[in-house]
Amino acid sequence: MKGAGWIGLYFAAMLAIGWWAERRRARGAGAVEYYLAGRGLAPVALFFALFGTNCSPFVLMGIPGQSYHDGVGIFGLNAPILALGIPLTFWWLGVPARAMGARLGAVSPAELVAKRLASRAVGWALFAAFTLFTVPYMVTGLQGCGLALERWSEGALSARAGALVALVVALAYTFLGGMRATAWTNVVQGALFLGVVVATLVALLGELGGPAAAFARLASERPELAELDRTRPRFEPRAFASYGLAITLTVVCFPHILVRLMASGGTEALRRSCRLYPLALTLLWLPAVGIGVLGALEFPGLAGNASDGIFPRVVERALGPELAVLGTLAVLAAAMSTLDAQLLTLGSMLSRDVLPRHAAGLGAERLFLLAVGAAAFLLHEAVERWQVSIFALAQFAFSGYVMIFPTLALALRWRRFTAAGALASLALGLATLAAFTQGWLPGLGFLPVLPAFLVALAAAIGVSLASTPPPRAHVALAFEGAES
């Protein structure tokens, strides 16, 4: 197994950061210190915590795989709208989320909205929705780790054993150092996968004789990959527009992203992260798409999902067999930087929103974390056995998160918003999404997420206006001093 030392070094570095974070933890500060790093994440840690959490193996494996078939249009479909939408939503909702969280003493995203609306029912509904949409995502990450380690070890390590190793390491450093550990491991992980992706594209372009020669060959051999073809279903204008809406609004609704915004060290730290975000996304997405498109020249004939394996193939070709392990490390880094945040956030919601009476002290908080890790692995086993399409589940999860957006945004930005409005929005939005997804209602060329989002938004506003406004004193407590 070539590069076993690199894999061992990576795991050891993650554990060392977890141990260091545990040593730095302010004693007696409780849940705010463990789950939110004392609401004091510095700009570098905050930026990488957001970026690493946001970028999962989907970008490293799924995007090159899609670009392999659909060409450079995949860049236009995703990167520009993400580079604008993510920082805008982070800024628009992150500033009030942090301020309101501190004012209300909220630690988890569900707790924040529940306390803002003075409704435990809303907290429970959000916990259920967040869990429903986050767990499939966690399983996807575990699968990515398992497949990467199985491929690297040439089958010596099974996918199940690989997933278990990655989960145990991620659990260990998260267990030790909480949010601070996951933020600083994300610095290393983000830099690692970004560096590998960029280095791979540069080496590939060098092998193809430079960018001009590489694109000339693309235009001559595969001209259809060098343009955006509006006749392909995913690029048709209505699908293109609805997809843009979904990916713009979904990321800020990931509970594992929102909790990082709540942990920011202040407005300036968040502003700097927002300024860096588009640059980092461009640096990641250009190579990811380039690897897929140019990989189609080097490795033609991969059908269907087989193209998801184009990234490790190109890494090995471009960087050489000795450095092929870097492809495995990049996938592990991208998967674990998302997985650790998900473990921590679901653990915090379990202890703060569902079983608060049992969460006495850090020992209990950490037990909840282990419980979430165990549940994720059991579901991973079940999914493997039942052959469930994780891609389909992940697609539903992305659309599902968008249905949470009206509740989240209005709770943080609109004083007149009520708990009844939140519950109606969640219920009607998800029901409409299911109806459009199943084809019970005509989508007219739009993806189901667009009409369902409009229903969720209308329900949130309409039912809020028709229901009793929340007590003025409570609203003033939540909003006083909030950014406007």
Q: CA-to-CA distance for 96 and 281, rounded, in angstroms?
A: 24
Does residue 453 touch another protein according to CB under 8 A?
no
Nearer to another protein, 276 or 419 (CB): 276
Cα–Cα distance for residue pair 222/171, rounded to 1 Å: 44
Q: Among 267, 391, 413, 434, which residue interacts with another protein (rule: CB under 8 A)?
A: 267
Burial of residue 301, with CB atoms counted within 10 A of its CB: 0-12 exposed, 13-18 middle, 19 or more buried: exposed
Place of tokens 């690029």: 235
Which lies closer to another protein via its Cβ, residue 282 or residue 395? 282
Asked if 438 interacts with another protein (CB under 8 A), we say no
- Asked if 143 and 390 touch (Cβ cutoff 8 Å), the reply is yes
- Rounded distance between C-alpha atoms, residue 185 and residue 340, angstroms: 9
Binding flag, residue 213, another protein (CB under 8 A)? yes
Q: Is 81 a residue that touches another protein (CB under 8 A)?
A: yes
Q: Residue 401 and residue 134: Cα distance in Å, rounded? A: 9
Token look-up 């897929």 returns: 292
* Residue of the chain from 36, 72, 196, 426 that contacts another protein (CB under 8 A): 72
414 counts as binding another protein under rule CB under 8 A: no
Residue 427 interacting with another protein (CB under 8 A): no
Does residue 75 bind another protein (CB under 8 A)?
A: yes
Partners of residue 41 on adjacent β-strands: 264
Residue closer to another protein by CB (options 146, 244) is 244
Of 240, 254, 396, 401, the one binding another protein (CB under 8 A) is 240
Binding-site size, another protein (CB under 8 A): 36
* Residue 16 near another protein by CB under 8 A: no
User: Is 297 a residue that touches another protein (CB under 8 A)?
Assistant: no
Q: Is 43 in the site for another protein (CB under 8 A)?
A: no
Residues 340-369 binding another protein (CB under 8 A) are none
* Residue 113 binds to another protein (criterion: CB under 8 A): no
Phi and psi torsions of 156, nearest 5°: -65, -35
Pick from 194, 234, 151: which is nearest to 60 by CA? 194
Q: Locate tokens 């490390």: which residue? A: 329
Q: Least separation, in Å, of the C-beta of 94 and another protein? A: 12
Judged by beta carbon, residue 286 or residue 367, the one nearer another protein is 286
Would you say 268 and 416 are in contact if contact means Cβ atoms under 8 Å apart? no
The answer to whether 354 and 34 have CB atoms below 8 angstroms apart is no
What is the distance between the alpha carbons of residues 166 and 1, in angstroms, rounded to a whole number?
17
CA terminus-to-terminus distance, the chain:
56
Q: Is residue 188 involved in binding another protein (CB under 8 A)?
A: no
Report, in Å, the least distance between residue 406 CB and another protein: 18
- What is the binding site for another protein (CB under 8 A)? 72-73, 75-76, 79-81, 83-84, 87-88, 91, 211-216, 218-219, 226-228, 237, 240-241, 244, 267, 271, 274-275, 278-279, 282, 483-484
